[in-house]
Structure 1
Amino acid sequence: MTHTTVLSHLDWLIIGLILGLTLVISLVLKDSGGKGGVEEFFTANRSAKWWFLGTSIAATTFASDTPLVITGWIADYGVAGNWFWWGGAIGIVAITVFFARVWRSTGVVTDAEIAELRYGGKPATVLRTSKAFVFSVIVNCVVLGWVFAGMSKIAEPFMDWQYLLGSTLYTVIESIYPEVLIFNDLNTSLTIFTLVVVTLTYSAVGGLKAILVTDMIWFVLAMTMAITLSYFAVSHVGGLDQLWASLETTYPVGGNATDLDGKAFLDHQQLSSFIPSFSDEAVGSLGIPFSAFILTLTFMWWTNGNVDGAGFFAQRLYSAADNSEAEKGALWYGLAHFVFRSWPWVIAGIAALVIYPRVAVNDVAAQFNACLNDSQVCSIAQRTCLDSRYACQIDEFGLLYEKHITQADGTTQVEFREDRERSYPAMIKDVLPTGLLGLALVALMGAFMSTVSTHINWGASYIANDFYLRFVNPKATNQRLTLVSRLATLGITVAAVTFASFIENVGAMWQLYLGMMAGLGLPHLLRWFWWRANAWSELAGMLTGLLLALGNYVLEYNTLLPSGQISIFPTAIASHPIHVICWISVCAALVSLVTTFITPAVPDATLQRFVDKVKPIGLWKNLNQAHQPARSFAASMLYFVLGSIGIYAGMFGIGYGLRLDYGVASILLSIFTITMLIVIRGMNKINRER
């Protein structure tokens, strides 16, 4: 069997140099002797500037799976499928104007620690411990699970370890590699293992400071290469004019082409529309019927537990140099994530539909299925592809995956099916020249490592700060805390890798994660605005959401639900995953409110200490009369509305420009400029007055 590689020596050199640079950075930024303790390891000594922390958040949320998922959404649901994450822009603006400053004012090391500052007493201690466990172990494992799955798809077309190591050494590794840590196959597992080792090294050695610096490098590289790939992909089909013309020709209105499972392809109007089509029934797990679209914009964003920035987002906010830097950093993240980053991915997804037409890919899948059933009809080219993906000369083969179908007699049959997510790495391989190919691949590796490093550092912060320092050794030295932090980083990594190896369905993990977080949306809002909220409010909401989400996942995953039912809720009210998540939010909110009124209120002395420290706006029994908040509720609402309008105007302004509708683009970009100037001037006015 002959093995080849699509990467040149130059590509390998670039990948090696950039990965090596991350290790050098961690050694340079290492806290000598661990003298900085948790403050340095997890908050970078609270010295980050707005552009630093905002870029770090943007780098973390650009996981390697993100452009792949978006490419798949565009094929199945059109550009409008991105509303699944575009709706989150409203929540990011809310974090910016309502919560960024108060997070920085708390002075905590983890968001779980806020429980004892806000509520006090034994219930707060229970809440702090419970949230630390849920976020450090359960949430981290779920999130990292789909990140690992996405990286395996990227690595598959490029990383042929049998070629790199030689057949003898590869066979030895194959005989000793733990079965429990296999991702799809040994080849992709070795790639992920290598990247995790590099990530673990610079995360454990350099802490958050090293993560912030490497995040900056990864973000710049990832954005540059995302734009570069889009440019080369569009140039490959003849420019933007030809891209849209080819899309219209390839996917005509009224076409009757379907995939091998009988699902019809979208036409060019549906593919290019920015607004979902509500006339058709939702199909699949991410279709957006009208009700789900409205819920995304009006309900789902504020009932999610991250609505106030809790989690790794908060970790960045309280690592800011001051309140102003935290607020501006959150705004910069919103602009970078939604306005500037959306369209390189979207245009690449559209170009992939033209470069690899769905009809052609499905025809190739059918031909390979025939080959599997009868070896006599296999061509030499097909046999080469089946023998080695790296030697395959059939471009469409890179978009196929093996689907295991259970037959009536209990046997399993393997058939090839189209996987549009794979068209993103396929374009990297097919349209980029030597050198740029290596840069694009290492950029996606960097996106993977940025997400992983943040989550293992964030998860370790709970173990070191909320378990060890709080309960085990309150008098621990900074050197001991740094050691515990590094060991916790290792432990979180091992747990996440082990859990991820069992994940088969990434979409199910997304739904599980959002369901688990749905129970904390209302409690997280109330803790900042209403004196009556207590620790039991958050515990009740968190446990209700967690149990409902886990129960729903177990029943659905094991097909224990009635036929056609997708959740524990009746189909009449929950025909779509967004409906399910919203119903979990409603149930958790009701349980949380009832629990609030039947449990004791937080003592006034505890509330007063919280108010004195944070200076929140809202209803606080007049305990905050002596404090003037940084910005009134009315002014915050004004900037919230203007900021939301501005981000969507900027995002769609660029989109209409790329669709060559320059009139609409000019109007929207003008609105974007005006609203952002008003919001930024309002933020600066606060800073000057204070």
Structure 2
Amino acid sequence: MVATTFAADTPNLVAGIVRETGVAGNWEWWAFLLTGMLTVFFYARLWRRSGVTTDLEFYELRYQGKSAAFLRGFRAIYLGVIFNIIIMATVCLAAIKIGNVMFNFTAGETLWIASIVTVLYSLLGGLKGVLITDFIQFIIAMVGSIWATMYILDLPEVNGMQNLITHPNVASKINLLPDFSNTELMMGIFLIPLAVQWWSTWYPGAEPGGGGYVAQRMLAAKDEKNATWAVLFFNLAHYALRPWPWIIIGLASLIIYPNLESLATAFPNLDPKFVKDDLSYPAMLTFLPAGLLGLVITSLIAAFMSTISTHLNWGSSYVVNDFYARFVKKDASEKQKIIVGRISIVIMMACAGLLSLVLEQAKDAFDLVIQIGAGSGLLFILRWFWHRINPWSEITAMASSLIIA
């Protein structure tokens, strides 16, 4: 779970947020810790106890009739295909920027290389293969990011942590809480996320009531106890431990690249539309020595592959189990299911790569996903306990949020 949410775009997103709105800007996603802990104490055991293979099977366990079946198929396409492609596109966007900064690759070259490698091992490995590689890749990624942070702090321009936090470009960005005198900023990055967003919005990895690939991992756990402890560790690592190297690097980038013009000057071959604050993270990595740079690049490649492979596996499982085998060909053989799953993986990867060429920065994609998932979260929390929640409640919430976004 932690490896999956450590995508190649995650360091870029966090560094970009820090540059734009300071450390406090991370409350936009830190607020999702509340729904994560809700899953730990209430929903992890329920998911594991349900005995379903995918979280969409739960719909026909919870609801009944044709409307329940329709909801299952609707969610399979809505989440497994549409939502999934958007998420993977943001990861591909990060790969494009990293590929250009580190290797001077064009967007097309980066997408071709990254997509082919990831699709191949997603096709061959299945969920077990994804889980094993995720575990290894996460260790590599964290070692690389922490080591890189220590090296960047020792750069002459940065000159240690004390000089970093007192530097004029950084001093106003280090507060954990936003400036409450700036009402608009405080509402946008702090009050609304804590008061409303965490329970009202469906976001991958922070689904109210659990769901998505978090549910996939809980369902694959040995028992209810293991599912609960796994989600608890995920929330601890995801919110409390993992982001700090990226935050520090984002702050350090304000000293070396104080504005977008300095980033554009440093990387003249990069398409100007990609020169945004989230470029600061890969830009700072160019200061690393050869050996460490190789490790960090490996960690970023690992992050890309772990996230994309999980989303491909997750999305194809929806397409096969919850759409194809449920509605198109109920008596499909295992061979037919495998073929459909592999075809869906290739198509989703291709669509994600094309969409990534339209996006410009990680924060834009983050905001888009938040908007699409808005309004449906409370239903996913209450459906376990309130009998009045029905399939059409969920369908209406999802469809309206998608249209409005």
> What TM-score comes out, normalization by structure 2 length?
0.92
Is 1:397 the counterpart of 2:299? The answer is no
Is 1:90 the counterpart of 2:29? The answer is no
- In structure 2, relative to structure 1, the CA distance for the partners of 1:290 and 1:473 (3 Å cut) is closer
2:173 counterpart residue number = 271
1:619 counterpart residue number = none
8 Å contact from structure 1 (residues 398, 423) kept in 2 = no
8 Å contact from structure 1 (residues 456, 489) kept in 2 = yes
Percent identity between matched residues is 36
8 Å contact from structure 1 (residues 237, 243) kept in 2 = no
2:71 counterpart residue number = 127
- In structure 2, relative to structure 1, the CA distance for the partners of 1:451 and 1:202 (3 Å cut) is same
Q: CA deviation at 1:505?
A: 5.3
1:194 counterpart residue number = 113
Is 1:471 the counterpart of 2:327? The answer is yes
Q: How does 1:528-607 map to 2 (within 5 A)?
A: 528-549=384-405
1:279 counterpart SS class: coil
Q: How does 1:98-497 map to 2 (within 5 A)?
A: 98-160=42-104, 187-237=106-156, 242-251=160-169, 268-280=170-182, 282=184, 288-290=185-187, 293-305=190-202, 306-354=207-255, 356-358=256-258, 362=261, 397-398=266-267, 403=272, 419-430=276-287, 432-497=288-353
Point out which structure has higher relative CO (alpha carbons under 8 A, 6+ apart): 2
- In structure 2, relative to structure 1, the CA distance for the partners of 1:213 and 1:278 (3 Å cut) is same
- In structure 2, relative to structure 1, the CA distance for the partners of 1:515 and 1:219 (3 Å cut) is same
- In structure 2, relative to structure 1, the CA distance for the partners of 1:523 and 1:142 (3 Å cut) is same
User: What residue identity is the alignment partner of 2:139?
Assistant: V
Stretches of structure 1 lacking an aligned partner (at least 5 in a row): 1-56, 162-186, 252-267, 283-287, 369-395, 405-416, 550-690
Q: CA deviation at 1:403?
A: 4.3
Q: CA deviation at 1:160?
A: 3.6
- In structure 2, relative to structure 1, the CA distance for the partners of 1:281 and 1:532 (3 Å cut) is closer
8 Å contact from structure 2 (residues 2, 237) kept in 1 = yes
Q: CA deviation at 1:281?
A: 6.1
1:114-158 CA-to-partner distances (Å, cap 9, x unmatched) read 111111101101111111111122101211111111111111122
Q: Which moved more, 1:504-513 or 1:333-342?
A: 504-513
8 Å contact from structure 2 (residues 17, 363) kept in 1 = no
8 Å contact from structure 2 (residues 371, 401) kept in 1 = yes
8 Å contact from structure 1 (residues 59, 218) kept in 2 = yes
- In structure 2, relative to structure 1, the CA distance for the partners of 1:193 and 1:273 (3 Å cut) is same
Q: What is the distance in 2 between the residues matched to 1:425 and 1:403? A: 16
1:386-436 CA-to-partner distances (Å, cap 9, x unmatched) read xxxxxxxxxx613996547xxxxxxxxxxxx96332232222221x22222
Q: What is the distance in 1 between the residues matched to 2:364 and 2:253? A: 25
- In structure 2, relative to structure 1, the CA distance for the partners of 1:331 and 1:466 (3 Å cut) is same
Cα RMSD (Å) of the superposition?
2.3
Q: CA deviation at 1:537?
A: 1.6
User: What residue identity is the alignment partner of 2:75?
Assistant: K
8 Å contact from structure 1 (residues 60, 451) kept in 2 = yes
1:344-379 CA-to-partner distances (Å, cap 9, x unmatched) read 11112222223x0517x74x57xx8xxxxxxxxxxx
Aligned length: 401
8 Å contact from structure 2 (residues 376, 398) kept in 1 = yes
Q: What is the distance in 2 between the residues matched to 1:439 and 1:93? A: 33
2:5 counterpart residue number = 61
- In structure 2, relative to structure 1, the CA distance for the partners of 1:307 and 1:246 (3 Å cut) is closer
- In structure 2, relative to structure 1, the CA distance for the partners of 1:347 and 1:470 (3 Å cut) is same
Stretches of structure 2 lacking an aligned partner (at least 5 in a row): none
8 Å contact from structure 2 (residues 24, 189) kept in 1 = no
8 Å contact from structure 2 (residues 257, 280) kept in 1 = no
- In structure 2, relative to structure 1, the CA distance for the partners of 1:522 and 1:290 (3 Å cut) is closer
8 Å contact from structure 2 (residues 19, 277) kept in 1 = yes
1:22-45 CA-to-partner distances (Å, cap 9, x unmatched) read xxxxxxxxxxxxxxxxxxxxxxxx
1:582-607 CA-to-partner distances (Å, cap 9, x unmatched) read xxxxxxxxxxxxxxxxxxxxxxxxxx
Q: CA deviation at 1:238?
A: 8.4
8 Å contact from structure 2 (residues 164, 252) kept in 1 = no
Q: What is the distance in 2 between the residues matched to 1:421 and 1:433? A: 22
Q: What is the distance in 2 between the residues matched to 1:114 and 1:418? A: 43
1:37-90 CA-to-partner distances (Å, cap 9, x unmatched) read xxxxxxxxxxxxxxxxxxxx1111111111112112212211111111111111
2:346 counterpart SS class: helix
1:468 counterpart SS class: helix
8 Å contact from structure 1 (residues 109, 461) kept in 2 = no
Q: CA deviation at 1:517?
A: 1.3
- In structure 2, relative to structure 1, the CA distance for the partners of 1:245 and 1:439 (3 Å cut) is closer
8 Å contact from structure 2 (residues 13, 362) kept in 1 = no
8 Å contact from structure 1 (residues 519, 546) kept in 2 = no
Q: What is the distance in 2 between the residues matched to 1:440 and 1:400? A: 22
- In structure 2, relative to structure 1, the CA distance for the partners of 1:328 and 1:156 (3 Å cut) is same
Normalized per residue, the structure richer in helix is 2
Q: CA deviation at 1:331?
A: 0.4
Q: What is the distance in 1 between the residues matched to 2:303 and 2:39? A: 24
Q: What is the distance in 1 between the residues matched to 2:241 and 2:69? A: 41
8 Å contact from structure 1 (residues 159, 188) kept in 2 = no
Q: What is the distance in 1 between the residues matched to 2:178 and 2:220? A: 39
Q: CA deviation at 1:503?
A: 3.0
1:603-660 CA-to-partner distances (Å, cap 9, x unmatched) read xxxxxxxxxxxxxxxxxxxxxxxxxxxxxxxxxxxxxxxxxxxxxxxxxxxxxxxxxx
Q: CA deviation at 1:543?
A: 1.6
Q: What is the distance in 1 between the residues matched to 2:51 and 2:110? A: 39
Q: What is the distance in 2 between the residues matched to 1:485 and 1:250? A: 53
Q: What is the distance in 2 between the residues matched to 1:487 and 1:115? A: 25
User: What residue identity is the alignment partner of 2:267?
Assistant: G
Q: What is the distance in 2 between the residues matched to 1:237 and 1:488? A: 49
> What TM-score comes out, normalization by structure 1 length?
0.55
Q: Quick check: which has more Rg, 1 or 2?
A: 1
